Structure 1
Amino acid sequence: MNTTDRTPADLLRSALAADPGRPLVTFYDDATGERVELSVATFANWVAKTANLLQGDLSAGPGDRLALHLPAHWQTAAWLLACASVGVEADVRGAPQDADVVVSGPDSLDAARACRGERIALALRPLGGRFPQPPEGFADYAVEVPSQGDRFAPYAPVDADGPALSVGGTTLTAADVVGRARTDAQALGLAPGSRILSGLPYDTWEGLSSGLYAPLAAGASVVLCRNLGQLSAEGLAQRVESERVTHTVGAPAQA
């Protein structure tokens, strides 16, 4: 990756310039059997559309805070990079009442209603499907995002030293996120072409780093697994082989 990259959005741009066709995020949900694979280009397209929704329709910008109440999921990864692209602070599991925008999955809608700003809900259904009936008081991400532009340009330059991510009671700047991601990638032994399987949730830095930021910083890719505990040891071994996994974190102990 480019050593001059200072924000997560910079890392994504470098990945796109280097090899847009390679896999970046492969997502499994072992409760539903869902599998989604996104190349760098496809993931970047989702990020651009989400960033346009955030900046345009939701009127969010630098200095705003977004409470992110989503599990480890490929759409969550897109929201994290969209926030980084706009300059909005992504507050993982942050208090909705203190946020300018809340983004919620189907299991946290009641708590998310405390947000007095804009509210977005994700059904987290296979293939990015919409809610059968939009939740009251929320815009459905799957309805709103398809019409957004495929290219994104921020209204204001993103400050690498501004707050970018809050998780576990710690707030990191964009530059902090990149620096930590590079350090973690080195500690994990990730290199261009590595594929790391992560079964960790997205509610800690470790989960966010191994499941998104570290592989992005290293030019690697992630096999992101939700509900991995429902997969047998044999099934996990088969996945590691079929996905050409080189590194594993957060796998069940019995596996």
Structure 2
Amino acid sequence: MTAPFAADARTPAELLHAYLRPGALDADPTRPLVTFYDDATGERVELSAKTFDNWVAKTANLLQDELNAGPEDRAALLLPAHWQSAVWLLACWSVGVVAVPGGAPADADLVVSGPDGLDSAKDCSGERVALALRPLGGRFPARPDGFLDYAAEVPGQGDRFAPYSPVHPQAMALETVVEDGLPLKLTGEQTVALAREGAARLGLDTSSRVLSTLSYDDWAGLEAGLLAPLVAGASVVLCRNSGGLTEEQWAKRIESERVTLRLG
């Protein structure tokens, strides 16, 4: 019987590392891992596992070296389901920082915010990072006062990352909520285990391509749009601002992206 993909992974960051093993998927290593659509701007971004990992490494280096973040620090992520949000989640888990999607900035050690959350992000007394979320990863026209502009800071970071201290599987990794709003706090090991349960429930494997329109602010969206596909060796298509698409447009997208499961 074939072992599950990334069967030995005990942290979310190790799930990404599994994609980069030689022959891990017996497929083209440049195949997309994350594809992102913003239907308000017409943007489409496609990242292979190798390219996605490069963004994660640069962002993790920014977190560790420039923002002085480390294990047990809490990062409030005021971000939509976006390819850069997925990068930030994996970067936090690579460093050992606890990711808190949609968390209260006042209770966090640092905050990472898109344009819509900048006002509330100012409640954080620690480091503040702003993401313009513009096509092609563009910068803000003018850097928001009191924030680092992620797009200006990340290009100069190193392409490889090594944490100063190993990330322990039993350390806290994620604070989120379930569908009824109840809090859910998970170690890295628990995050991976719950993602495995989700992948099995959804019937995912390495050939799966999951399209998600769900928010990253709760477990359902994190499972559908990132973690369950990662644990299965699958790929994901994230769609933002897509409420105006017709069923015909959806059908064309699902066909062109070879989607096997649509969630949201």
TM-score after normalising by structure 2: 0.93
Alignment pair present for 1:245 and 2:249? no
Aligned mates of 1:27, 1:177 — CA distance in 2: 23
Aligned mates of 2:45, 2:6 — CA distance in 1: 27
- The AA in structure 1 aligned to 2:79 is L
Aligned mates of 2:192, 2:216 — CA distance in 1: 17
Aligned to 1:219: 233
Residue 228 of structure 1 and its aligned partner are, at CA, apart by 2.0
Unaligned runs of 5+ in 1: 251-255
Unaligned runs of 5+ in 2: 178-182
Counterpart secondary structure, 1:63: coil
Alignment pair present for 1:233 and 2:247? yes
Residue 97 of structure 1 and its aligned partner are, at CA, apart by 1.0
Contact 1:31 1:230 in 2 (8 A): no
- The AA in structure 2 aligned to 1:236 is W
Of 214, 222, 230, which aligns to 1:208? 222
Alignment pair present for 1:10 and 2:8? no
Alignment pair present for 1:105 and 2:119? no
Residue 106 of structure 1 and its aligned partner are, at CA, apart by 0.3
Contact 2:6 2:233 in 1 (8 A): no
Q: What does 1:48-127 correspond to in 2, within 5 Å? A: 48-127=57-136
Residue 94 of structure 1 and its aligned partner are, at CA, apart by 1.0
Aligned mates of 1:92, 1:44 — CA distance in 2: 20
Aligned to 2:180: none
Aligned residues: 250
Residue 4 of structure 1 and its aligned partner are, at CA, apart by 1.2
Residue 29 of structure 1 and its aligned partner are, at CA, apart by 0.8
Of 40, 47, 53, which aligns to 2:56? 47
Aligned mates of 2:246, 2:51 — CA distance in 1: 30
Aligned mates of 2:103, 2:220 — CA distance in 1: 17
Aligned to 2:168: 159
Contact 2:210 2:224 in 1 (8 A): yes
Aligned mates of 1:129, 1:195 — CA distance in 2: 27
Of all paired residues, the percent bearing the same amino acid is 65
Structure 1 runs of 4+ aligned residues shifted over 6 Å read none
TM-score after normalising by structure 1: 0.96
Alignment pair present for 1:194 and 2:194? no
Query: What RMSD, in angstroms, separates the aligned Cα atoms of the two structures?
Result: 0.8
Question: Cα deviations across residues 198-241 of structure 1 (Å, max 9, x unaligned)?
Answer: 11111110101110011010010001111221211110000000
Aligned mates of 2:232, 2:188 — CA distance in 1: 16
